[in-house]
Amino acid sequence: MRSRSFEARVVAARTVGARVVVVIGVALAAVAVAATSASASAGPSRPTGSAATAAATTTTTAKPTIRLVQQPISVGMDERFVVVFEVTGAPNGSDIAVDIYDRIDDPSKVGADPEHSKATFDPFPLSDAPASGPVRSLFGIDLYGPDQDPPPGAWAWEIDRAGVYPVRIRVRDGDHADIATLVTQLVRRPGPGEEVRQAQVALLATVHQDPPSDPTQRAAKDHVSPTFATRLDRLDDALASHAGLPATFAVTPDTADRLVGDNSQAGVLAGLRDALRGRGRELLDAPYVDIDPAALVGAQLEGELTRQRDLGRQTLTTLLEPPTAGTWSISDPVDAGTLASLRSRGIFRLLLPTDAFASKPALSPTDLAAGDGLVRSLPVDPGYSLSDGATDPILAAHQLLARLAAAADIATSDPAIVVSIDAADADALALPILFDALTFGGPYWEAVTVDDLYRRVAAAPSHPALVTPSPADLGSYPDLSRQVHASLASLDSMLGDRTDVAGRYDRPLAISASKDLDPAARRNDVLGVEAQVRRRLSAVSTPPRDKVTLGARDARFPLIITSKLDEPIRVVIELQASDRLDFPDDRLEKTLEPGRTVASIRVRTRASGDTPVRITVRSPDGHEILAESQYTIRSTAVSGVGILLTIGAAAFLALWWGRNWYRSRTVPKHARRRAHGAAGHAADRPAAKRPSPDPSARHAATDPVGASPAPQAM
């Protein structure tokens, strides 16, 4: 069914070519009549005097152009190749010369000026119409193969094998000098007994818009470029009219976010969603923004790869559909270390540009060393892309198809080719031609998805070498990024499961990693998030100093903590003091409600007096200090040693008093009375007057013999 539809298109082209000579004449006559009518309605047919001179100068100096209007995608071995083209600015008397060349043996030569001409057909006049307007013309080449009789006419040409053959169209002036040139390709399908290889072709539609340069617009997500939206709408419409065409989408999640947020582009968003729902359509996994993984890994920001993967996958799943997890399209070179970091995060397949390889890679999947494993990659050759940079979009579409055919024709195994289309460069004239050819298929190509390429085409036996990446200097961004992510992790630990609060910072931080931003914009985005997170972390406070008096050994004292946040948060209270104090719990977890919270702190005193206590309120992960206080604990309670000394002193006094009491009870009563009386008389008796000196008495006192008479002898 597919080949029958394709043949029907070719038959139509053949019918046009059968009347090539007649049609050329009719076309030229029609153009001439139209030009004459326009001139008659405008006034005199030819200017005179200085006006004639100016017109002649304009005609002479204007550079003529030629563009392709229509040609068949491919032709059979005995069919007619008909080309319709349009020339603008050619002088009167110009003619057309057509050259045909040998078969192309290198896809990169498609579109280039051929080196050697195979043959030149008989020139034919372009037109006698005024040079100011476009002139449309055409020609047809009758093909025949080996062992076939040539068809009649001067425009018959034998092509003995299938392949791609350049055809050059030259516009010549009256002196037969070339004044404009167009090179297109004749794609000849295989005849009976001929075999060609069939390329597996994956159509990759990239939907990406750079983050806005204005920081306010960049932070918001309610606007996409109207030009971008218009071109994306063209791509959606072209895919909608080719519902059976397999296609793979690489949508930047940030672009999807902005498209959803822009209410004026609801129709474009609906078209994209419809295009994704078609049969044989798939959506690739993607980082949130277009990043340079090698630059991030080189700056020790491997964690950013994880954050980009998670936010990107979540965004695509929420806004469009679940992507094919584990396949990224990257536009920058990578090294083995970057591949290992990607592989450890579940990115096992990559679409890489051909300039990421040290030499031109084969058109097939390749395995690349990534740590202790492998990452499978597909090369994305810019030669197989369709962009708006071409001045002739119809010619660009046919050249792309010719490159696909040439790649299959010269391949030694079925090639795997990624045809990339950027939605921002989609051209309304080129898309239907490319999509028609891929939808109908043919001997040279079959449309599949990227996932099909990985499954159907075997990997190359060798591991190609990669170029050494030369990422741009990120300046202070890596340090700032690590700092703000650490602070954000602390805020996360304080909020617990309420990720909606901390999650509001994920998007601006992810955008700051975009390689499309300049260093200043990237740095300012990170600093803006850091300021917002810092304001939340500084919303917790305690009294800087306080004094507490305790009258018991085991007691509690209040710690007042104030939170200015609108939601409950978790904190950790750390207590530090000398060994004079003992805290049964020196690290307390506490949930703070908005406003004032009183935490009751248990303490045991080991000595009386004043003891300083350092109180620190931290985030649960311990990274951020939220508040600090210096308390003084005064203890008036008696310590255990003091109690023992007091008890000992009391016991000693009691013993001493008891002993005295006992002695006083055991002395005889008359002795007590005598002692008491003597003590009383002595107390009442006046002091004796000292006698005057007596010499004899002094002598008696000093003479021992006189003092005591000696006994007499018997």
CA distance 562 to 567: 13
C-beta of residue 117 within 8 angstroms of C-beta of residue 90 = no
> Following DSSP, what letter does each residue of 464-528 receive, concatenated?
--BPPP-PPP-TTHHHHHHHHHHHHHHHHHHHTT-HHHHGGGHHHHHHHT-TTS-HHHHHHHHHH
Residue with tokens 């004239």: 429
- Residue 69's pLDDT is 97
Q: Does 138 score more than 90 pLDDT? A: yes
Q: Does 444 score more than 90 pLDDT? A: yes
Which one has a higher pLDDT value, 714 or 315?
Answer: 315
Q: Does 109 score more than 50 pLDDT? A: yes
- Residue 389's pLDDT is 62
Highest-scoring range by mean pLDDT, 37-51, 289-303, 626-640 = 289-303
H helices of 393-459, where? 393-410, 430-440, 450-456
Q: Which range among 311-315, 390-394, 537-541, 562-566 shows the weakest confidence by mean pLDDT?
A: 390-394
What confidence tens digit (pLDDT) does each residue in 18-64 have? 333 333 433 433 333 333 333 333 333 333 333 333 344 444 456 89
Average pLDDT, the chain: 84
Q: What distances in angstroms separate CA 418 from CA 378, 441, 450, one per listed residue?
A: 8, 15, 8
Beta pairing, strands 569-577 & 545-550: unpaired
Which one has a higher pLDDT value, 624 or 279?
Answer: 624
- Residue 142's pLDDT is 96
CA angle 425, 426, 428 (to 5 degrees): 140
Q: Mean pLDDT over residues 153-173, rounded?
A: 95
Residue with tokens 């078209």: 271
CA distance 119 to 158: 11
Q: Does 9 score more than 70 pLDDT? A: no
Residue with tokens 């996409």: 224
- Residue 504's pLDDT is 87
C-beta of residue 622 within 8 angstroms of C-beta of residue 573 = no
Q: Mean pLDDT over residues 117-139, rounded?
A: 84
H helices of 540-666, where? 640-666
Give, for 42, the enclosing helix (H) or strand (E).
helix 20-42
- Residue 639's pLDDT is 55
Other CB atoms within 10 A of residue 712 CB: 5
CA distance 446 to 435: 12
CA distance 564 to 536: 8
CA distance 392 to 211: 30
Q: State the first-to-last Cα distance of the chain, in angstroms, to the nearest integer.
A: 185
Phi–psi pair at 353, nearest 5 degrees: -70, 155
Beta pairing, strands 554-563 & 595-605: antiparallel
C-beta of residue 592 within 8 angstroms of C-beta of residue 563 = yes
Highest-scoring range by mean pLDDT, 59-63, 321-325, 387-391 = 321-325
C-beta of residue 349 within 8 angstroms of C-beta of residue 454 = yes
pTM (predicted TM-score): 0.78
Helix, strand or coil for residue 689?
coil
Q: Which range among 83-97, 403-417, 495-509, 517-531 shows the weakest confidence by mean pLDDT?
A: 495-509
Q: Which range among 98-107, 299-308, 693-702 shows the weakest confidence by mean pLDDT?
A: 693-702
- Residue 133's pLDDT is 79
Q: Mean pLDDT over residues 565-585, rounded?
A: 91
- Residue 367's pLDDT is 94
Tokens of 487: 């602070």
Q: Which range among 190-194, 198-202, 551-555, 675-679 shows the weakest confidence by mean pLDDT?
A: 675-679
> Of all residues in the chain, what percent carry a pLDDT higher than 70?
81
- Residue 636's pLDDT is 86
C-beta of residue 248 within 8 angstroms of C-beta of residue 463 = no
What confidence tens digit (pLDDT) does each residue in 232-262 have? 999 999 999 999 999 999 999 999 999 999 9
CA distance 288 to 254: 6
Go through the domains of the chain in sequence order and give each one's CATH number. 2-43+59-194 (2.60.40.10), 200-456 (3.20.110.20), 477-537 (no CATH), 540-635 (2.60.40.2310)
Q: Mean pLDDT over residues 84-99, rounded?
A: 93
CA distance 662 to 649: 20
Residue with tokens 């007619």: 80
H helices of 371-418, where? 393-410
Residue 593's identity, in one-letter code, is E
Which one has a higher pLDDT value, 346 or 666?
Answer: 346
CA distance 74 to 80: 10
- Residue 586's pLDDT is 86
Q: Mean pLDDT over residues 416-429, rounded?
A: 92
The band of 266, judged by pLDDT with boundaries at 50, 70 and 90, is very high
What confidence tens digit (pLDDT) does each residue in 191-220 have? 998 989 999 999 999 999 999 999 999 999
Which one has a higher pLDDT value, 666 or 635?
Answer: 635
CA distance 209 to 269: 14
CA distance 265 to 258: 10
CA distance 316 to 276: 12
Tokens of 286: 């993607």
